[in-house]
Amino acid sequence: MRYFKLTIEYDGSDFSGWQVQPDRRTVQGELYRAFGELSRGEIKITGAGRTDAGVHATGQVASVRVETDLSAGAIHRAVAAKLPADILVKQTEEVPPAFNARFDARSRRYDYIFMMKETSLWRGRFLPVGSGIDVHGMRKETRGLVGLHDFTPFASSGGPSGSKRCRIIRAELIEARPLLILSVTADRFLYNMMRSIAGTILRVGRGKGPGIKEILESGNRAEAGPTLPPHALYLVEVTY
Amino acid sequence: MRYFKLTIEYDGSDFSGWQVQPDRRTVQGELYRAFGELSRGEIKITGAGRTDAGVHATGQVASVRVETDLSAGAIHRAVAAKLPADILVKQTEEVPPAFNARFDARSRRYDYIFMMKETSLWRGRFLPVGSGIDVHGMRKETRGLVGLHDFTPFASSGGPSGSKRCRIIRAELIEARPLLILSVTADRFLYNMMRSIAGTILRVGRGKGPGIKEILESGNRAEAGPTLPPHALYLVEVTY
């Protein structure tokens, strides 16, 4: 048995998300297929973040257990040749057997990218929001995310039960006109949490609705903003 | 009769190009449909550049003749509501009847965008070329384009007959890592000329094939580089 850590970029547009599902095209499913042709025995692939349908990644991480004699470099080249064009393994490293991409992750960073003008050309990559939004107000809200909070109001039903406490390590609103990037690093993210946070902060940018702090204190899901579409969300980095 | 000048952005991915064709989805076809619902009589729409299937535009210009009493502002809003999400009219101005977007254009600017790293995420927008290319050599070739030349070697068969002389007004290779933008402004472009120029310059960047000057002097189509794919080409600006 050999153990590898993969750093992966993908275009989420044509995937039913990360997680393998019968009869659906998923990123994990494509990786299973590619590694299946290289392994003499059973394979196991674990991703750090189970991104939804349409969500992109520039720094997803997966741990892979595979029965092979190939080196990391040979695995890297062989898998690259077998993967479709919308998945790119950026790095393949050999790791100790105990490494688990999901449970060993210390933090994950997601970026939600707004575009401050109308666009026909980039609508599948960024969320067009027009130019008349209050970036200053949005930045204030973004800063208010940092710390340990119960994110129940920002978790979609359908996620697992259990604690909804997440520690936000860093939260920034980066202005790179015409792009506006909401970048959040946390120890964990609840189901749809990042898209719901983005929806709340955008609503503030439009001068409407309660802010993050107020919603966290209320504990009320109905207070949170809309869950924004997946195509402007990127899993950017996982740290260990 | 009223006459308007439109400045148009579109995502070329799902169009069979600019020009209206029976049973094909085209940009001009969608504009005819949208204006058709506003006009009491016959419409005429002329584009400055007849972009191919897959080619994008951020600054296409069209002239429109339409029978209506609506102001430019009202036309602008009404057409926006009728167009699909992959076409955006950025500006609508009333112009004199004599204005013709195609024949009055003094120059057109096309950008061909390379991406200097492997990518799964941006492959539908830029052409991934890896990082090991000779940018300096490519820049030298790009400069050699400027001036009045017979571009026969860079014209695909299938274009109209007649003079193949084009005046290149400006030609630049803009480094915006990881992007590398080949930006060319000319009084006219022959069929597939920009994609063939880009293929020749990229080939030089890989240390192969003859340069632009040599090919122009030879007059031989077989000397030119490959016609690169359309999805990395943008019609950026038309000047009058």
Report d(CA B31, CA B64) in Å as an integer.
9
Asked if B11 lies within 8 A of A124 by C-beta distance, the reply is yes
Q: Which residues of B touch A124 (CB under 8 A)?
A: 11
Residue B160, pLDDT > 90, answer: no
Report d(CA A89, CA A65) in Å as an integer.
16
Percent of chain A at pLDDT exceeding 90: 92
* A41 token code pair: 């025995």
The mean pLDDT value for A104-115 works out to: 98
Give B64 to chain A, closest Cα distance, Å. Answer: 20
Q: What's the predicted TM-score (pTM) here? A: 0.89
Residue A205, pLDDT > 90, answer: yes
User: Binning pLDDT at 50, 70 and 90, where does residue B161 land?
Assistant: confident
Give me the pLDDT at residue A160, please. 72
* Chain segment A156-198, per-residue pLDDT in tens: 876 677 899 999 999 999 999 999 999 999 999 999 999 999 9
Catalytic residue among A11, A23, A52, A104: A52
* Residue found under tokens 């100790």: A96
ipTM metric:
0.81
Give me the pLDDT at residue B34, please. 96
Q: Name the residue facing B11 among A56, A87, A120 (closest C-beta).
A: A120
Percent of chain B at pLDDT exceeding 70: 99
Report d(CA A193, CA A153) in Å as an integer.
9
Give me the pLDDT at residue B100, please. 97
Give me the pLDDT at residue B159, please. 66
Is B14 annotated as catalytic? no
Q: Which residues of B touch A87 (CB under 8 A)?
A: 120
A189 within 8 A of A121, measured Cβ to Cβ: no
* Chain segment A5-61, per-residue pLDDT in tens: 999 999 999 999 999 999 999 999 999 999 999 999 999 999 999 999 999 999 999
* Chain segment A30-46, per-residue pLDDT in tens: 999 999 999 999 999 99
Residue B162, pLDDT > 90, answer: no
Nearest-Cα residue of chain B relative to residue A89:
B120
Give A149 to chain B, closest Cα distance, Å. Answer: 33
Residue B16, pLDDT > 90, answer: yes
Report d(CA A174, CA B84) in Å as an integer.
30
Which one of B117, B120, B131 would you mutate to disrupt binding with A, by most A Cβ within 10 Å of its Cβ? Answer: B120
Q: Which residues of A touch B90 (CB under 8 A)?
A: 118
- Average pLDDT of chain B to the nearest whole number: 95
Residue B64, pLDDT > 90, answer: yes
Report d(CA A114, CA A185) in Å as an integer.
17
Nearest-Cα residue of chain A relative to residue B54:
A121
Give A33 to chain B, closest Cα distance, Å. Answer: 18
Give me the pLDDT at residue A159, please. 66
Give me the pLDDT at residue A169, please. 98
- Average pLDDT of chain A to the nearest whole number: 95
Q: Which residues of A touch B118 (CB under 8 A)?
A: 88, 90
Which one of B27, B119, B121 would you mutate to disrupt binding with A, by most A Cβ within 10 Å of its Cβ? Answer: B121
* Chain segment B214-234, per-residue pLDDT in tens: 999 999 989 999 999 999 999
* Chain segment A139-162, per-residue pLDDT in tens: 999 999 999 999 999 988 766 778
* Chain segment B69-85, per-residue pLDDT in tens: 999 999 999 999 999 99
Q: Which residues of A touch B86 (CB under 8 A)?
A: 120-121, 123
Residue B49, pLDDT > 80, answer: yes
Give me the pLDDT at residue B157, please. 74
Residue A96, pLDDT > 80, answer: yes
B64 within 8 A of B108, measured Cβ to Cβ: no
DSSP assignment of chain A: -EEEEEEEEE-GGGSS-SS--TTS--HHHHHHHHHHTT-SS--EEEESS-PPTT-EEEEEEEEEEE-----HHHHHHHHHHHS-TTEEEEEEEE--TT--TTTT--EEEEEEEEESS--SSSTTTSEE--S---HHHHHHHHHTT-EEEE-GGG--BTB--S--EEEEEEEEEEEETTEEEEEEEES---TTHHHHHHHHHHHHHTT-S--HHHHHHHT-GGGS-----GGGEEEEEEE-
Residue A76, pLDDT > 70, answer: yes
Give me the pLDDT at residue B124, please. 86
